[in-house]
């Protein structure tokens, strides 16, 4: 946070945009094998040849003057007369300076992000993170909650990857938690409601994007929490709907299976999105919440 505020004071790019970019890049690097893991405080990755300049014969160049001569991206952010990819201040200042060239207001920052990433979904995810950081005024937003009240009656096992046949052969991309009809369903993380509506497979469903590029998917709901809206900010434990048996048909279809919550998690890596097994996370969040209540 100190670093974000420092760069904000120099460039007038609000700290929460910088935090959103940094967190997005850190998550992408953790999810992909073709990118080096972050070694410093920041997670932003800029390819050495882009930093030093495409035509620069020395891709390890740290001289700001020669980098500028070869139209490189890198800048000296801390005044040590070096533009180093190993320096967190230089990296964050360089990216902020790039955005500053477009403007420091919301719309121009979005334009700058699109020109850099060339992907609408990436821009949307970063802006969502920025909204979360601005709303809560802090960057430690990693707490989680179990999707159902832990003192209620429910049961679940690891069903991720199991075969499903309705609507064609497919793989089950989540964990089914069986519980009483109407039991409260809660947000599992700090995030933004990215999707709300009907799907012929999942029935009434909700999708929430968290700060770690994870998309939390809640399906077969009996309905939604009052006043829950697309784009709304949620936090762990917040009521979002109820357990139901909706789906497997046109809007309104219900009762084709016992009431349960289908809960899935999907990861975005900057190119695509895929599901991963939520069962270990559910067990961890359940255990953590039970321990808090002791």
What is the token pair recorded at 273?
Answer: 């999105």
Give residue-wise pLDDT tens across range 214-255.
999 999 999 999 999 999 999 999 999 999 999 999 999 999
| Alpha carbons 147 and 183: distance in angstroms, whole number | 10
Poorest-confidence range of 73-77, 158-162, 243-247, 277-281?
158-162
- What is the per-residue DSSP string for 60-123? T---HHHHHHTT-S---SSSSS---TT-HHHHHHHHHHHHHTT-SSHHHHHHHHHHHH--HHHH
Sign of CA dihedral 196, 202, 204, 205: negative
| Alpha carbons 85 and 90: distance in angstroms, whole number | 7
End-to-end CA distance of the chain: 33
The Cβ of residue 48 has, within 10 Å, a number of other Cβ atoms equal to: 14
pLDDT at 173: 82
Give residue-wise pLDDT tens across range 22-73.
999 999 999 999 999 988 999 999 999 999 999 999 999 999 999 999 999 9
Rounded to two decimals, the pTM is 0.93
Identify the CATH homologous superfamily for domain 154-293.
Answer: Glucose Permease (Domain IIA) (2.70.70.10)
Give me the count of residues in the chain.
Answer: 294
CB 222 within 8 A of CB 203: no
Give residue-wise pLDDT tens across range 113-136.
999 999 999 999 999 999 999 999
**Residues of the chain by 3-state class (helix, strand, coil), percent to 5:** 30, 25, 45
What is the token pair recorded at 148?
Answer: 């159902």
CB 1 within 8 A of CB 92: no
Angle at Cα 175 formed by Cα 151 and Cα 289, nearest 5°?
Answer: 30
Q: Pick from 126, 120, 125, 55: which is nearest to 95 by CA?
A: 126
Each domain of the chain, given as residue ranges in start order, spans: 2-136, 154-293
| Alpha carbons 7 and 92: distance in angstroms, whole number | 7
């Amino acid at each position: 946070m100190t670093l974000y505020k420092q760069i904000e004071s120099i460039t007038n790019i609000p700290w929460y945009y910088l935090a959103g970019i940094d967190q997005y890049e850190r998550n992408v690097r953790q999810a992909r094998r073709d990118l080096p893991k972050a070694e410093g405080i920041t997670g932003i990755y800029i390819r050495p040849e882009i930093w030093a300049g495409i035509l620069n014969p020395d891709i390890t160049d740290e001289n700001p003057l020669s980098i500028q001569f070869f139209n490189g991206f890198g800048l000296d952010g801390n005044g040590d007369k070096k533009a180093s990819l190993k320096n967190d201040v230089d990296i964050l200042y360089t990216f902020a300076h790039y955005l500053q060239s477009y403007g420091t207001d919301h719309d121009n920052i979005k334009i700058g992000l699109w020109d850099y990433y060339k992907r609408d979904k990436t821009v949307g995810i970063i802006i969502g993170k920025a909204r979360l950081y601005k709303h809560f005024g802090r960057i430690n937003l990693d707490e989680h909650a179990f999707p159902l009240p832990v003192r209620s009656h429910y049961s679940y096992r690891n069903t991720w990857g199991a075969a499903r046949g309705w609507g064609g052969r497919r793989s089950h991309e989540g964990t089914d938690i069986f519980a009483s009809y109407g039991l409260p369903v809660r947000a599992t993380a700090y995030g933004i409601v990215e999707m709300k509506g009907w799907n012929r497979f999942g029935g009434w469903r909700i999708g929430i994007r968290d700060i770690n590029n994870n998309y939390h998917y809640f399906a077969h709901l009996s309905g939604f929490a009052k006043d829950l809206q697309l784009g709304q900010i949620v936090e762990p434990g917040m009521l979002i709907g109820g357990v139901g048996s909706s789906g497997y048909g046109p809007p309104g279809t219900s009762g084709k299976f016992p009431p349960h919550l289908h809960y899935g998690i999907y990861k975005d890596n900057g190119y695509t999105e895929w599901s991963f097994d939520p069962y270990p996370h559910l067990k961890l969040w359940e255990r953590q919440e039970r321990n808090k209540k002791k």
